[in-house]
Structures are given as C-alpha cells and as structure tokens.
Structure 1
Amino acid sequence: MKNLITACFVVLIVACANPKTEKQIAEVSCGQCQFGLTSQKGCDLAVRIDDKAYFVDGANIDDFGDAHDVESGFCEVIRKGEIEGEIVEGRFKVTNIKMLD
C-alpha cells in the first residue's frame, strides 16, 4: 500500500511538472526573410509571438507548401497560424500548427 501511494505521488509530481501548452494565434513565416533572424543560415520556419520571433523545432518551412511561392510562401509573406507548443532555450518547440489563411 505504501508503494502504491508513493507511486501515485510521483506520477502526480511528474504530471504537474510538465508544462501545459495552449493554442494561440501567431505570425508564421521565414525567420531570415521576414523576421530578420540571423542566428542560422538559409530559410527556416519561425513564429512571432508578442513581437519576438523564434525559430521553430518540430516543423519545416516546406511542410506548408513551397516556401518561395510568391502568394503564400513563408519567404514571401507572413501568415497567421494557430500554434501550440512552448518556448525552450530561445526556440519554439511546436506540437501543432494550423494555418488560418
């Protein structure tokens, strides 16, 4: 019985320690071409939350079509998306992105 209570307590602590992510609307685009990020070379997906841009881990810039498409490519335009994830060490760890346009 003591082991069962201890195990339940440990599970509860671990569950509370995991950060909860919530959905939010953010700008999604190329970090280099549209948001002016310079810490990486080439074109990489980024999100802008509260006027601060973060490179994205967990999704690729070409996952949503050709990044250089004149009308909808992330290197050409800034799009709106519903994003879910968390900021970890200056990067956005995405668990879900749903484009709204």
Structure 2
Amino acid sequence: MVTQEKPTFWYFAFLPFLKTIHMMVYLFLLSKVVMAKKFGGENNLIKKWSQILMTSFGIFIFSYVSYFVLVQFPFFKIEYDYLISITMSLSIFMIGYLGFQ
C-alpha cells in the first residue's frame, strides 16, 4: 500500500484566510524594506517600479479578500465575481509585466 505524504503547507489550500494573512504580511514587510532603502538619482526609477509592483500586489490581495467577503452576502451576484476576476487578472498581468521588464 502506497501512502502519499501531504505537502508541508497543505493547509494553505483549505484555509484561504491563511493565504490572505501570509500575502498581507509579505506586502507589509516588502513595503518596509522598500521604504527603508535610500534611493537616489537613477535608482528613483527602481523605487517607482517597486511601488507599482507593490500596488499591483495590494490590488490583488484586496480582490482576493473581497471575493471571500462578498460571497457571504445575499446580494452577491455572479456579475460581481467576473469583475473581481478581471481585477485579479489585471493585477497579475501587471506583476508579470513588471517582472519581465
């Protein structure tokens, strides 16, 4: 009989709030690092790039959270789900675009 081991972080798949907390902590720590770093001259472009990247990630987190919150309410319609999905897709696209720039 073959048994399969669970991956180390298997609980992230079942508890979306843990993913959310993890992403929020990561964004918070990332913003602290970027704000603490001194940028000057040509490095201002790097600062602007990192701020746009963090903003895109923040929009993704907000969209992710809004889905799990709004789905609990009776007024939530399938059209809202499409809007949230589009927002998440655009933020992921922006993160990918900035990553390859």
The TM-score range, normalised by the shorter chain, is: under 0.3
More helix by share: 2
TM-score, normalisation: structure 2: 0.24
More strand by share: 1
TM-score, normalisation: structure 1: 0.24
